[in-house]
Amino acid sequence: MTSLLLASASPARLATLRAAGLDPAVLVSGVDEPAVVERYGVTDAEDVCLVLAKAKAEDVAGNEDRPEDHLVLGCDSVLAVDLGEGVEVLGKPADAADAVRRWKAMRGKSGVLHTGHWLIDDREDGSGATIGGVASVTVHFADVTDAEIEAYVATGEPLQVAGAFTVDGLGGAFVRGIEGDHHAVVGVSLPLLRDLVREAGVAWPDLWATREA
């Protein structure tokens, strides 16, 4: 069995990987996201999420306290949506007021959630691969009321996630539809990850923590 090391604090990403049969170790990166974006000068949503995913994976792969002999996975998600003054690239809201502002502007509209993935083969006898990709999904938001927005933001859930929404939690009722891989909206695209793992020379079933007899 090959082991995965997830460079993310996201419980949704961890739950998605576990549901797919993996049992990754977790080591959260210490990346300063705004500083990384500024250093690379990226503004396009796909570039932003991929640069951040790579930075997180590299930070953890270079951590002396990391568990050895793993595939290291970094992920990052941003939402690209037109809030009335052109397309904005949104990570987590700054605060509750920001989350309310966003929701009032994006209700009834559609946006594209981009999730960057970066995989580093940190195994002693591995391929040494360092590869990445982006999964992009169109999300259609419901025309929610002011009261619903206030109640949702008051739960604190939208403050913890890119775009200020979830599909696997309380926010699921406020999403009318998704075009693309729904796993990517949760935070990690399993089909894309499988492609990256295979490119690194690892068979996807070798990541499964348990197998049928």
Q: Is 69 a catalytic residue?
A: no
Give strand pairing partners of 2. none
Annotated catalytic residue, options 76, 121, 181, 206:
76
Residue 199 CB-density burial (10 A; 0-12 exposed, 13-18 middle, 19+ buried): middle
Which stretches of 34-99 are assigned E, i.e. beta strand?
A: 71-82, 87-90
- Residue 52 host element (H or E): helix 45-61
DSSP-derived letter for residue 159 is G
Could you tell me which residues come within 8 angstroms of residue 44 by beta carbon, excluding any fewer than 6 positions away? 89
Coil vs helix vs strand at 75: strand
- Residue 184 host element (H or E): helix 182-186
> Cα–Cα distance between 72 and 197 in angstroms, integer?
10
Which residues carry out catalysis? 76
